[in-house]
Structure 1
Amino acid sequence: MPTPAQLDSLWDFSLALYAQPDIADTCLRLQDEQGINVNLLLWCVWLECKGLALDDAHLHEAQRRTRGWDHHYVVPLRHLRKRMKAEFGIQNEVIEGVRKHIKQAELAAEQQLQMQLQDLTQQWLQQPNGLKPMAIGNTQFEGRNLRRYLDDAGVKRGAIDSLVQCLTGVLRSI
């Protein structure tokens, strides 16, 4: 089985990484408590695993380009799914079936957002002022892109360090 870093598709990479211990819980906590976009977070990690350095201009462009899709489709589906669970619980099989369909739609919307990010990455790689490779010899995950995104979003240094440490261990072990 390939490691997440060997997967070319951002979606496949994200699924493989997200399935690792502690990653989903940590990402969801940042999403729920600090408004972090988990898809952008995973994209930052994917870029670094591909050896690509993210600068502020490209990060802000990616945020701008994905904001509408996330705001109009992903987040409302997530809120609807969570509200249904809070209001109805999981006991009613019919309502739970509806909620599961909403979750599938939410995941499909997130996959579309990741496809937008991957396409944007490919466009940038074909431009002279596009993404640049990381320093030669930098083969170990250090969380540079992730730190840039989370610093920009106002996440506290301790939370960033914990996530980078968790990711470093996971990426090293698989």
Structure 2
Amino acid sequence: MPETITPDKLWQFSLQLYPQVKPLCLQWQDELGANVNLLLLLCYLERQQRSLSAAELQQLAAQLNNFSAQFTKPLRALRKNTAIAAITPAQQQSLKQALLQAELTLEQLEQQLLLQHCPPLSKQASPLLELYLAQLKADNNADSAMLAAQIIDLRQTYQRLNQHGG
């Protein structure tokens, strides 16, 4: 039976998986407008053999995008622009670290919001990553074959976590 999904379990899973898939997640974030926290949740759900319908996934993504657009994205942009601040390099580094810490807090909050707004899950495996990326791809001109290969790589990475007790 699949385990209960708690914010802490999702966060711990994310901390394990993200460093290994960071370039791919950031590529999808930049090129497709993907939300990394939603990607991580979908990986977790697939690993648990739980699923959402396409409509539920779209609604969940929309709710998260509102919060992210209001808080997470502006803070991320601010952090990325610390180099242009008229302050010393040490001050820039200190500012960047403080903003990064605040951004991590917002990322964790995004995951909590995802779980709060997540509809009841069905107990069947379904290709959630394909569903989400197809929704994003509709707005972008992404290469389907390349996305399919990247999804396979991502799945293999989180399956290796399973094998190593993650």
TM-score bucket (shorter structure): 0.7 to 0.9
Query: 1:81-96 to 2 correspondence within 5 Å?
Result: 81-85=79-83, 87=84, 92-96=89-93
Query: 1:143-162 to 2 correspondence within 5 Å?
Result: 144-154=127-137, 155-162=142-149
Evaluate the alpha carbon distance shift between residue 47 and residue 66 of structure 1 in structure 2; reply closer, same or farther with a 3 A threshold.
Answer: same
Q: How well do the aligned residues superpose, as a CA RMSD in angstroms?
A: 2.5
Aligned pair count reads: 153
Q: Give the unaligned 5+ runs of structure 1.
A: 126-130, 136-142
RCO higher in 1 or 2 (8 Å CA, sep ≥ 6)? 2
Match of 1:165 in 2: 152
CA distance in structure 2 between the partners assigned to 1:172 and 1:40 by the alignment? 18
Q: Give the unaligned 5+ runs of structure 2.
A: 162-166
CA distance in structure 2 between the partners assigned to 1:41 and 1:64 by the alignment? 14
Match of 2:164 in 1: none
Q: What is the percentage of aligned positions where both structures have the same residue?
A: 30
CA distance in structure 2 between the partners assigned to 1:54 and 1:156 by the alignment? 24
* TM-score, normalised via structure 1 length: 0.78
Match of 2:33 in 1: 35
- 1:7/1:13 contact within 8 Å kept: no
* TM-score, normalised via structure 2 length: 0.81
Match of 2:13 in 1: 13
Please report how far the alpha carbon of residue 6 of structure 1 lies from its aligned counterpart in structure 2 after TM superposition: 10
Selected match of 2:101 from 95, 101, 104? 104
- 2:43/2:155 contact within 8 Å kept: no
Evaluate the alpha carbon distance shift between residue 16 and residue 134 of structure 1 in structure 2; reply closer, same or farther with a 3 A threshold.
Answer: same
Match of 1:133 in 2: 123
